[in-house]
């Protein structure tokens, strides 16, 4: 039993507390399994009326997954990485389909895998400290854990913008875009938790009672530019649009995209295009699992993690180094399922 996540019941409220503060609560496979086990147990427990996911001490909700371990696996045979993705995506789908009310308190850093366990929840609380992002293209990965589903359904190409740039959204922006359902001040969270424990069945109402009007969303002023400049589904066309614009904002975002893995950026755009048409979240998880087990073994993922998280020289050697050299055949191979290695949801929730 891992101590990196605490699962317990208070009254009629199921509690899941991420408890790995030195890693900003980044998810391990053991953590995903422990959370799923508790959630499955509580489905059958009539005494548990709702579930809250938050974090213990530290400056963030969840910084993602343990990508250093994934890269080490990817540099070998990729088996451990595949097992992690299988269990993590089962957890993501379990939360998406969960029959009882779920609450995520996205206080502080909420990235990657943290987004994957927050966005499926019914009540999603942002604070003034929330910083939400899907920064995977910077390490040679892609916005997984349902990113192809959630990002593709944001308005006006915001999802494509987030996927390519790794843009960080604050709490007000999360509320404005619907990624959060409520905006609650950090100082009110202890009182909110007490209200949730007192009346779990009225979790949304409790969140509403403590919610306040969020500040203006900074991203709102950029929405026309995002819709125009990120309209294309090809990376080359997005880059061309940004180059042609010439404005300060466009040039800043162009510079950001040029630091990312061209392979990952192309993978991400294709994932969002296909994800927008998927009929179920389970279908999305199946597709992302096939993709993840292939991408984790690519040069760019291993190199991206080395450059940004291990050696920290911030000088990844992307291969290929330019978008034009990333072939459609390469993408087709990465998106292909391997027979006998398909992802499946928990039978209890399928």
Catalytic residue among 14, 60, 113, 146: 113
- What value does the mean pLDDT take over residues 160-164? 98
Beta-bridge mates of residue 5: 18
Catalytic choice (58, 65, 116, 140): 65
Give yes or no: 65 in active site: yes
Question: pLDDT at position 335, please?
Answer: 98
SS3 at position 111: strand
From 136, 170, 253, 288, the catalytic residue? 136
In this structure, what are the phi and psi dihedrals at residue 174, rounded to the nearest 5 degrees? -60, -40
Do 349 and 93 touch, CB atoms closer than 8 A? Answer: yes
Q: Is 113 a catalytic residue?
A: yes
For residues 157-184, give the mean pLDDT: 98
Which has the closest alpha carbon to 157: 274, 272, 278?
272
136 is catalytic: yes
d(CA 28, CA 32): 6
The domains of the chain, with CATH numbers, are: 5-335 (3.90.226.10)
For 52-109, write each residue's pLDDT tens digit.
Answer: 999 998 779 999 999 999 999 999 999 999 999 999 999 999 999 999 999 999 999 9
| Cβ neighbour number for residue 153 with a 10 Å cutoff | 13
CA distance 72 to 64: 16
Report helix, strand or coil for 104. Answer: strand
Write the pLDDT tens digit of every residue in 286-308. 999 999 999 999 999 999 999 99
The structure's pTM equals 0.97
pLDDT digits (tens, 9 = 90+) for 131-158: 999 999 999 999 999 999 999 999 999 9
Q: What is the pLDDT of residue 1?
A: 56
Q: What is the mean pLDDT of residues 305-329?
A: 97
CA 154 from centre of chain: 14
With H, G, I as helix, E, B as strand and everything else as coil, classify residue 244. Answer: helix
Mean pLDDT of the chain: 96
Catalytic residue among 54, 144, 300, 303: 144
For residue range 201-242, what is the model confidence (pLDDT) as tens digits? 999 999 999 999 999 999 999 999 999 999 999 999 999 999
């Amino acid at each position: 039993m891992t101590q990196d996540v605490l699962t317990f019941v208070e009254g009629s409220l199921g509690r899941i507390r991420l408890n790995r503060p030195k890693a900003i609560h980044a998810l391990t496979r053991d953590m995903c399994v422990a959370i799923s086990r508790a959630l499955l147990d509580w489905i059958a427990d009539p005494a548990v009326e709702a579930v809250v996911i938050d974090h213990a001490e530290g400056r963030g909700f969840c910084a993602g997954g343990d990508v250093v371990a994934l890269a080490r696996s990817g540099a070998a045979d990729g088996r451990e990485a595949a097992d992690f993705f299988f269990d993590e995506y089962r957890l993501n789908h379990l939360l998406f389909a969960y029959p009882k009310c779920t609450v995520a308190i996205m206080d502080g850093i909420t990235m990657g895998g943290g987004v994957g366990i927050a966005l499926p929840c019914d009540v999603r609380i942002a604070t003034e400290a929330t910083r939400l992002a899907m920064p995977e293209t910077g390490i040679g990965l892609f916005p997984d854990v349902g990113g192809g589903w959630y990002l593709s359904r944001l308005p006006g190409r915001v999802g494509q913008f987030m996927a390519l740039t790794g843009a960080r959204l604050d709490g007000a922006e999360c509320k404005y875009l619907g990624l959060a359902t409520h905006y609650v001040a950090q100082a009110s969270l202890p009182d909110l938790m007490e209200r949730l424990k007192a009346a779990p069945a009225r979790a949304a109402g409790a969140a509403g009672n403590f919610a306040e009007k969020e500040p203006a969303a900074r991203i709102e002023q950029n929405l026309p530019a995002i819709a125009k400049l990120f309209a294309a589904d090809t990376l080359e066309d997005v880059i061309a649009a940004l180059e042609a614009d010439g404005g300060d904002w466009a040039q800043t975002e162009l510079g950001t995209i040029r630091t990312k893995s061209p392979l990952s950026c192309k993978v991400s755009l294709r994932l969002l295009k296909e994800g927008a048409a998927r009929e179920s979240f389970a279908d999305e998880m199946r597709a992302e699992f096939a993709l993840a087990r292939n991408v984790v073994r690519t040069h760019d993922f291993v190199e991206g993690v080395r450059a940004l998280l291990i050696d920290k020289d911030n000088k990844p050697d992307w291969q290929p180094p330019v978008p034009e050299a990333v072939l459609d055949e390469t993408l087709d191979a990465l998106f292909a399922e391997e027979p006998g290695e398909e992802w499946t949801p928990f039978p209890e929730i399928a």
